[in-house]
Structure 1
Amino acid sequence: MKLSIFKYFIGVCILTTSFSMQSQNVYKDQFAHTYSIVARDMVTGEMAVGVQSHWFSVGNLVSWGQSGVGVVATQSFVNPAFGPEGLALMKKGTSATDALKELIAKDSGKAYRQVAFLDASGNVSAHTGDNCVESAHHIVGDNFSVQANMMLNDKVVPAMAEAYKNHADLPLGERVLKTLQAAQNTGGDIRGKQSAALIVVNAKPAKNSWQDKKINLRVDDHQNPLQELERLLKVHTAYEYMNQGDLDIEHGDMDKAMQSYGAAEKLFPENLEMKYWKAVAMANNKQLEAALPIFKYIFEQDDNWRTLTKRLPKAGLLTISDDELKKILDL
């Protein structure tokens, strides 16, 4: 009899909670229980969101940002409207604090939400609802906020805050990654790990919409999402060095270009394309003899690059004589 009463009591509690969630419009919401960080580099003004979760494609739900405006992380029982609506308010000049207050005030499911806003001036605000699954906390610091829910223990959020403060010498993207890694190393999501994302936006508004995200990386489904995110960030940085090398050549600074290309190769040494375009740049700038061993190595790995080389002069990408071209193709 006592057991039956106990089961009845539990059932009433579950039904009451379910009805409460339905009445507050959160029962139908997607949930991304997770840990995240919003942050601003006080030197460059760049802003970032980093997130990891045991949930598919967490970056699609949680992370929002716009150059010159701010960044948003919205999680737990996610209200995705906090992303675009928060950015719209901050774009109008509303501070992160006031923007979050305004949106939380009209959200009937605020007890189940976890949200952090950061604006281009460095104002930060965060909210952790009373009904977020423990361990759920947030810490707002100087130009950053770290927040987490459904964590293995209460040490995760403090570890994130310490990691962010302790890596001030790193570029913002790497610093955010270190923060996420600290969360995982301290226990992380009680369910495990599945996806991660990192966005970095610029301090000033982008001239074109496609230039808005300086970094925009997502790992939607992976056994070790932070490890994969770290790899992608390294590849991204390598290609940024390649782009810088191209700009250096445009400005007539071959020495600086070689430094940029060298930095790219150091980060991604197995990538043939980086080596190839470096060799092309050298050939175009009267350094053919130094470029020949690079071409030879690339052709030995994949002869399709030799075929591509034949096509470059017509496209204006390889500006050398016929004799010099033959010297490359005969390798």
Structure 2
Amino acid sequence: MTFSIVARQGGSVGVAVASKFIAVGAVVPQTRLGVGAVATQSFARVAYREEVLALLDQGVSPADALARTTAADEDRDRRQLGAVSAEGQATFTGAGCMDWAGGVTGELAEDGGTTRYAIQGNILVGEQVVLEMERAFRAGAGRPLAHRLVEALLAGDAAGGDARGRQGAAVVVATPGAGYDHAGTEVDLRVDDHPQAPTELARLLDLNDLYFSGPEDVVPLEGDVADEVATRLRTLGYDAPQVEAALGEWAGVENYEMRLVPGGIDTKVLQRLRDLTA
């Protein structure tokens, strides 16, 4: 009752998942920096996540890790798993999973090394779901991993997705030095209950970029730009003598601190200010 993709790109590992299942992000995905990523679904055995990652951390290949963990499970015929590491990728679909069920794996050479992925789903409208996910992921070369994962999820959803409908979705990505406080959690987003969960997840990912990414396309806070920013900030009630001080006060309230630059303004922050004062 779920479709997911696990992938490794450069030093990043991640998982995206969607399902007609509440809070699916609490059950299916897990990542570990420097090790890999895993998804467990179809009568999911949550313990698989730590078990598989522990084996990957020991240097076991994803294929062998899935084989070892499922071999000891009496309910393996109902399980579905996907895993990636720096060394490989693998997917497992038990013979008893409900139709349509299956998966694909692949890799492609990109800047930064070999990108690897495993895609799997069960109770889908058909094989086209995982094939469209694969097509979208491969077409996203050069894009940040989180966006490639969500784009693959959206492609699977557009192809029919879960045969029962939509409810939950999630994306998690770990990247060294990324995210808040540079702790390595680049993205960790969940949509627990929404009639258009994959689309809502994509919206949250855009917000995640706005709040937790560094400054991009900075323009000098001077001349016409400074005048415009000062005018728009006054509209919102921020009227400090120096425009940069007013901008910092507003950005602190709106949680845009990670995009502040001395003497300049990030274009996404500027656009957000324009949207709020249009």
Percent identity (aligned): 32
Assess, with a 3 A threshold, how the Cα gap between structure 1 residues 309 and 161 changes in structure 2: closer, same or farther. Answer: closer
| Aligned amino acid, residue 85 of structure 1 | E
Greater strand proportion: 2
- Contact 2:173–2:186, Cα closer than 8 Å, also in 1: yes
Residue 60 (structure 1) aligned with residue 26 (structure 2): yes
Structure 1's 47 and 294: CA in aligned 2 closer, same or farther, altered over 3 A?
Answer: same
SS at match of 2:14: strand
**Which residue is equivalent to 2:200?**
228
Note the C-alpha offset of 1:85: 1.7
Name 2:267's counterpart in structure 1. none
Q: Trace 1:32-181 onto structure 2 (pairs within 5 A).
A: 33-41=1-9, 44-119=10-85, 121-142=86-107, 143-181=116-154
SS of the residue corresponding to residue 147 of structure 2 reads helix
Query: Are the aligned partners of 2:28 and 2:40 in contact in 1 as well (CA < 8 Å)?
Result: yes
- The answer to whether residue 183 in structure 2 is matched with residue 216 in structure 1 is no
Could you say if the C-alpha distance between residues 306 and 54 of structure 1 is closer, same or farther in structure 2, counting changes exceeding 3 Å? farther
Flag structure 1 segments of 5+ consecutive residues without an equivalent: 1-32, 246-258, 263-280, 320-331
- Deviation sequence 1:204-250 (CA, Å, 0-9, x none): 599x9981321111111111111111111112222344x336xxxxx
Aligned-pair CA distance for 1:154: 2.7
Residue 295 of structure 1, aligned match among 227, 230, 252: 230
TM-score normalised according to structure 2 size: 0.77
Q: Secondary structure at the match of 1:77?
A: coil
Alpha-carbon distance between aligned partners in 2 of 1:74 and 1:299, rounded to the nearest angstrom? 51
Partner of 1:39, secondary structure, is: strand
SS at match of 1:78: coil
Distance 1:165 1:311, change over 3 A: closer
- Counterparts in 2 of 1:194 and 1:311: CA distance versus 1, 3 Å: closer
- Structure of greater Rg: 1
Moved over 6 A (4+): none
TM-score using structure 1 length: 0.65
Counterpart for residue 271 of structure 2:
none
